[in-house]
Amino acid sequence: MATPQNPRPLAGLTRPQGLDTNTDIGGMADPDNGLIDRRIFSDEEIYRQEMRRIFARSWLFIAHEDQFQKPGDFFQTYMGEDPVIASMNKKREIRVLLNNCRHRGARVCRADHGRTKNFTCTYHGWTYDLDGELVNLPGKDDYDPSFNPSDWGLVTAPRVESYKGLIFANWDENAEPLEDALGDLTWYLDAFLDRDPEGTCVVGGVTKWVLEGNWKLAAEQFATDWYHVNMSHASALMVMSPSGKGPKKAIAERTGKQFTSDSGHGAGFPVHPKNRFDAQPVHEYYDYEFLRDRLSPEQVTGPMTNGHGNVFPNFSYLPVNGSIRVWHPKGPNKIEVWAWTVLDKSMPEDVKKAQRLYNLRTFGPSGIFEQDDGENWSEVQANAHAFMIQGTALNYQMGMGTEKHNAGFPGTTSELYSDAAGRGFYRRWKELMNTPAWHEN
């Protein structure tokens, strides 16, 4: 398997300086004072720099392991805007291949997912195996004898690693290991992914939809924003409350914690002994005593039964709904949301069904919460290009200075109602935007 040392094989080509000009972000993001210049959500050049300096070197979510059962299983997705194929090779390893024929650049796979022996480009017929090696091409004898097919395999992500069923890939071969990059967030993620000794599975395929909005609006909200819940989701909470009058005061005023990290990840969750799964069959299924033992009491009363989280840059999750999603950037003004339902493998079928339907009802494309969120992001984005608006700072000052280590919660946390993880998100964003990436050497 020829894993390219340099995932950008330009063969013998060279480029002039200055084609990809990077901008010093300077004071456009000032997380220490909770201020953001809203131009970072709409500027085309900044967006292109994000592709080079954030997406080309961060761990990006690819798929769930459950999507690959046999060699030849593949799934097509994106890393940033680059189309990639994740395939299981004959050794049952997952390869992540740039979906770009080395001949003239057509995609070599157009199916969303499936099982295959190899990928044949429909333009001239170059054929690649599950590891991305060029194994056949029509008219090979018409090339010079010095033509070596092994030089013309698909570009392959040099790093592919999993954390508790979630597969991530990175174009930077020297990136720190995925688990180190997740850091203290693993404790919060485990409350979602490690309830069941058998692990998790995905059901119902991948739901995809398009929203008008910059990718950061969605990612930062899932990292930091419990604040919007009572206002933006008031009608949804009303529908879901037994009285129909909206959330009880005790629920609306819940206290909890928000996790923030130097790596840009974030998570927030109310902490309450009566936190529970909203779908009744799911609530009844869990043995909370067993879970307090398997995880910890703090995980069970906090991030297991409620809240939100984001793995920097663009992978988000909702433990109580079983939702995982990627915010695929499609230019500065648009995202394509890809969402999966993740369930514990040991759940009986009726419990799985209840949780899947609950997830779709709340956070599917027409879910009662999801629609509120999408509406907010497109509202924020709609005027982002206007001149006076671009000269007006955004406020991320809630809970400023309250970040500290709180006993029982790994890493740095603030109170639930806070912009702490938003400030952490933009601190990391700024650091990466201002630092040359591996491919600039």
The footprint of Fe ion (CB under 5 A) covers 373
Secondary structure of the chain: what % helix, strand, coil (to 5)?
A: 30, 25, 45
Catalytic, 225? Answer: yes
Least separation, in Å, of the C-beta of 126 and Fe ion? 45
Residue 373 binding result from ligand FES, Fe ion, none, given CB thresholds of 5 to 8 Å by partner type: Fe ion
- Alpha carbons within 13 angstroms on the beta-carbon side of residue 386 total 8
Contact partner at residue 107 from ligand FES, Fe ion, none, CB < 5 to 8 Å by partner kind:
none
- Taking CA atoms, 114 is separated from 24, 90, 183, 249, 364, in Å, by 43, 15, 33, 49, 23
Task: For the CB of residue 139, give the shortest distance to ligand FES in the complex, in Å.
Answer: 10
> Cβ(428)–Cβ(262) under 8 Å?
yes
Residue 103 binding result from ligand FES, Fe ion, none, given CB thresholds of 5 to 8 Å by partner type: ligand FES
Q: Minimum CB separation from Fe ion for residue 374, in Å? A: 9
H or E segment and range at residue 395: strand 393-395
Decide: helix, strand or coil at residue 353: helix
Catalytic residue among 225, 265, 344, 419: 225
To the nearest whole angstrom, how small is the minimum distance from the Cβ of residue 39 to Fe ion? 25
Local structure of 293: helix, strand or coil: helix
User: Rounded distance, CA 377 to CA 381, Å?
Assistant: 6
In sequence order, the 6+-apart residues with CB closer than 8 A to the CB of 353 are none
Residue found under tokens 């989701």: 233
Cα–Cα distance, 107 to 119 (Å, whole number): 10
Q: Is 228 a catalytic residue?
A: yes
Least Å distance between CB 101 and ligand FES? Answer: 3
Q: Strand, coil or helix: what is 191?
A: helix
Q: Which C-beta is closer to Fe ion: that of 119 or that of 222?
A: 222
Nearest to 173 by CA among 154, 160, 162: 160
- Closer of 152 and 438 to ligand FES (Cβ): 152
* Footprint of ligand FES (CB under 6 A): 101, 103-104, 106, 121, 123-126
Contacts of 298 (CB under 8 A, 6+ apart): 271, 408, 409
Active-site residue flag, 385: no
Q: Which is nearer to ligand FES, 152 or 209 (CB)?
A: 152
End-to-end CA distance of the chain: 25
Rounded-to-10 torsion of CA 360, 362, 366, 369: -160
Which one from 190, 194, 373, 419 is the annotated catalytic residue? 373
In the numeric block, the tokens 């491919």 are attached to 439
Nearer to Fe ion, 7 or 307 (CB): 307
Q: Which of 124, 151, 262, 350 is catalytic?
A: 124
Is 265 part of the annotated catalytic residue set? no
Question: Out of 32, 151, 228, 262, which one is annotated catalytic?
Answer: 228
359, 341 in Cβ contact below 8 A? yes
CA atoms within 13 A on the CB side of 74: 29
Give which of ligand FES, Fe ion, none residue 121 binds (C-beta under 5 to 8 Å, depending on kind): ligand FES
**What phi, psi does 367 have (nearest 5°)?**
-65, 150
Q: Can you read off the two tokens belonging to residue 221?
A: 């909200």
**Is the CB of 135 or the CB of 311 nearer to ligand FES?**
135
Please confirm, yes or no, whether 124 is among the known catalytic residues.
yes
Question: What residue 101 binds from Fe ion, ligand FES, none (CB within 5 to 8 A, per partner kind)?
Answer: ligand FES
104: partner contacted, choices Fe ion, ligand FES, none (Cβ within 5-8 A by kind) = ligand FES
For Fe ion, the closer CB: 74 or 363: 363
Smallest distance, Å, CB 100 to ligand FES?
9
Residue from 233, 265, 308, 328 carrying the catalytic annotation: 233
Please tell me whether residue 348 adopts helix, strand or coil conformation. Answer: coil
Give the residue closest to Fe ion by C-beta: 373
Task: Give the nearest distance from C-beta 7 to ligand FES in angstroms.
Answer: 19
| Residue with smaller CB distance to ligand FES, 128 or 188 | 128
Q: Which does 273 bind (CB under 5 to 8 A by kind): Fe ion, ligand FES, none?
A: none
- Give the active site residues: 124, 225, 228, 233, 373
